[in-house]
Every structure is written in structure tokens, then in C-alpha cells.
Amino acid sequence: MNHGFRIALYQPDIAGNTGTILRFAACLGLGVDIIEPAGFPLSDKALRRAGMDYLEMAALTRHVDWNAFEEWRKAGARRLVLMSTKATIGYTSFSFADGDILLFGRESAGVPDPVHQAADARLIIPMQGTARSINVALSVAMVAGEAIRQLR
């Protein structure tokens, strides 16, 4: 059941969210890229605690920084799809493709402008009124679910 798109986390802040995303991805056959530095220790022990016994199932790739990730992504000619509260295109209106990398920013700060500019597409999860954002693990589940629905 491996899918051709991947989930990328830009400098994640919260180990519990990362563990939830790793478990989700492992169960659905999705690869996960973590762009360091993270806001918590990325040791196997910390990830195992956060991701429980699913860590062994997770297809996790760690990138030492944004530049290393970009080099890897461009070498594979993968499209970068950024989820952002600053975007105007709803994620359900977008046509996902095999090979896409769905990028999610830091819980505390999103992503910096150079990362926004590097994205091939920027998508939003439309929300009510003054709501600012949805938990990153829930956002990953929503957007990945839509990508799976489109690509199955």
C-alpha cells in the first residue's frame, strides 16, 4: 500500500505530534522526511517513545537542514507542496501527483520566507472565522487523506 507522495516536517517542535505523524505514515505506507533541527532530541529513544512501536515500520529520512533537503528533493525532481495559513488555494481544490512532498511547518512558527518561495504550490485548510491553525498531526491526516483519495 505504499503511496508515491511523502510527508515532510520542517523543524518540528513537538515530539508527540511527530510521533503521531510517524505512526500515521507507517500505517498508511507513507514516507516521512524530517528537516532538522527539531525542537526536541531526535534520538531513537525519543522517537520510539513518541511513535511507540511503529517506529520500526516508519520510512523516516532525516535531513540535516533545509539546504540538504532541497538538494535531495531537486535531485529527485519532486514537487514541493507547502501547507500554509498564508495560502489561498484550498487543499481539496488541488490536484496531487505521485512524487509530491507535502510540507508542514513548525508548530510555533510555520516556515520562513525562503521556504515559502521554494514551494511549487501553497495550500490551505479553510477554517472558520478567526481560527488560526489546526494541530499539525491532524493537518497531515487531512491533507494526506485527500492525496490518497485522489491518487488511489
Q: Could you report the per-residue pLDDT of 18-76, keeping only the tens digit for each? A: 988 998 999 899 999 999 999 988 766 666 665 556 677 778 899 999 999 999 999 99
Is residue 136 in a domain? yes
* Residue 37: cis peptide before it, omega within 30 degrees of 0: yes
Q: Give the domain range for residue 80.
A: 6-151
Alpha carbon distance 23, 26 (integer Å): 5
C-alpha cell at 80: 514541493
Cβ proximity of 136 and 125 under 8 Å: no
Is residue 145 in a domain? yes
Q: What is the pLDDT of residue 36?
A: 97
Q: Could you report the per-residue pLDDT of 72-84, keeping only the tens digit for each? A: 999 999 999 999 9
pTM over 0.85, yes/no: yes
Find the CATH number of the domain harbouring 136: 3.40.1280.10
Is residue 133 in a domain? yes
Q: What is the pLDDT of residue 123?
A: 98
pLDDT tier, 94 (very low <50, low <70, confident <90, very high otherwise): very high
How many domains, the chain?
Answer: 1
Is residue 124 in a domain? yes
Is residue 122 in a domain? yes
DSSP state of 98: T
pLDDT over threshold 60, residue 99: yes
Is residue 127 in a domain? yes
Q: What is the pLDDT of residue 3?
A: 62
Is residue 1 in a domain? no
